[in-house]
């Protein structure tokens, strides 16, 4: 069996490591430190994907539940409530509960490397389709705030996303302008907050992809390959899918399948997923506001869609965790 080195410490790295170890590969995990997101929402589809890869364990025990979204999107929009069944969990907690038991080193060198964290191979360049940044702010919720809801509101120069946490606490994501000015303008989210802490460090939340995403002997996945706007809520699900696909590519290559066609399929699938995300972003950013901030971000999303081009024909399809020719 081939030797596989996996670089990273998130769901993409851990999922790939678990699948390849279970398939009998000699797998090593080189964990790399990176900032963790304090709170993420995991919808039903993503929860199912994680259970498929990691088993049906009680890995979400004790985490807050969400049953609805309250959304005010667009200038002077009336808030609307829609069902949204999800679980709130910190990225740190999720990683701790999903970490597989694999060796730390490979004695004979790696036949394949899966990059789920930086640094990447030297010939990869990051393409960015936006400029927006975010702040994550710890907040204390008002007594009448519905703890089963999350709250989303677009404003002139950005948007707010409020997620309840344990007890009276919550996390506010402020995208665009800093949290303070956005909360001063807010008509919906601000009413749910009693007080907010000092804003944390800023981080990028615009869509981006590395090019190339794979090459002879290596694949990338998770945030190392693609980064998504948190507004769409599909980053964790995509990371799991990339881990499944990467493991399937390595398994197929080990049985003698043509490596060049496998890599072409892997790239086509990741680019197609990135394009679907950009199309979803376009719908939101075309309707969120009318200021130059919204127009600028929308133009860059359109540039990303154009870069992705037309979807390629796929030569393989997944059957369970294995690739088969179409």
Residue 107 confidence class, pLDDT cut points 50, 70, 90: low
Q: Of 232, 231, 322, 226, which is closest to residue 273 (Cα–Cα)?
A: 226
Which residues lie across from 162 on neighbouring strands? 151, 172
Statement: residue 9 has pLDDT above 90: no
Statement: residue 68 has pLDDT above 90: yes
Statement: residue 199 has pLDDT above 80: no
Q: Of 270, 295, 272, 276, which is closest to residue 215 (Cα–Cα)?
A: 270
Q: Which domains are present in the chain?
A: 3-38+91-131+205-325 (3.50.50.60), 39-48+61-89+133-203 (3.30.9.100)
pLDDT (tens digit, 9 = 90+) per residue, 134-187? 999 999 999 999 999 999 999 999 999 999 988 899 999 999 999 999 999 999
> Residue 284 corresponds to which tokens in the numbers above?
């939101």
pLDDT, residue 12, reads 95
pLDDT, residue 91, reads 86
- The answer to whether 259 touches 323, Cβ cutoff 8 Å, is no
pLDDT, residue 104, reads 67
Euclidean distance between CA atoms 241 and 245, whole angstroms: 6
pLDDT, residue 122, reads 86
pLDDT (tens digit, 9 = 90+) per residue, 14-61? 999 999 999 999 999 988 777 777 888 999 999 999 999 998 777 788
Cβ within 8 Å of residue 187, ≥6 positions away: 72, 153
pLDDT, residue 264, reads 96
Q: Of 319, 321, 316, which is closest to residue 258 (Cα–Cα)?
A: 316
pLDDT, residue 129, reads 98
Euclidean distance between CA atoms 24 and 30, whole angstroms: 18
Euclidean distance between CA atoms 204 and 122, whole angstroms: 22
């Amino acid at each position: 069996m081939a030797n596989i080195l996996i670089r990273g410490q998130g769901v993409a790295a851990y999922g790939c490591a678990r699948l390849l170890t279970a398939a009998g590969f000699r797998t090593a995990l080189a964990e790399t430190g990176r900032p963790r997101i304090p709170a993420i929402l995991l919808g039903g589809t993503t929860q199912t994907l994680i259970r498929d890869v990691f088993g049906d364990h009680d890995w979400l025990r004790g985490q807050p539940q969400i049953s609805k979204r309250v959304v005010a999107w667009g200038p002077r929009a009336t808030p609307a409530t829609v069902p949204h069944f999800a679980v709130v969990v910190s990225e740190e907690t999720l990683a701790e509960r999903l970490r597989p038991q694999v060796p730390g080193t490979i004695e004979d060198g790696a036949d394949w490397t899966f990059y789920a964290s930086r640094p990447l191979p030297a010939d990869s360049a990051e393409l960015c389709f936006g400029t927006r940044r975010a702040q994550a702010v710890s907040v204390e919720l008002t007594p009448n705030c519905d703890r089963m809801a999350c709250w989303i509101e677009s404003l002139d120069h950005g948007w707010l996303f409020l997620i309840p946490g344990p007890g009276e606490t919550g996390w506010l994501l402020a995208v665009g302008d800093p949290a303070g000015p956005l909360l001063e303008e807010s008509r919906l989210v601000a009413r749910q907050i009693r007080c907010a802490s000092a804003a944390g460090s800023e981080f990028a939340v615009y869509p981006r992809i590395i090019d190339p995403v794979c090459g002879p002997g290596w694949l990338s996945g998770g945030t190392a390959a693609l980064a998504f706007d948190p507004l769409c809520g599909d980053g964790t699900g995509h990371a799991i899918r990339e881990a499944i696909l990467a493991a399937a590519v390595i398994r197929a290559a080990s049985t003698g399948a043509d490596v060049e066609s496998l890599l072409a399929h892997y790239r086509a699938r990741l680019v197609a997923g990135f394009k679907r995300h950009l199309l979803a972003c376009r719908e939101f950013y075309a309707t969120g506001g009318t200021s130059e901030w919204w127009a600028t971000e929308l133009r860059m999303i359109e540039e990303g869609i154009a870069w992705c081009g037309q979807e390629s024909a796929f030569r393989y399809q997944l059957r369970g965790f294995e690739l088969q020719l179409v």
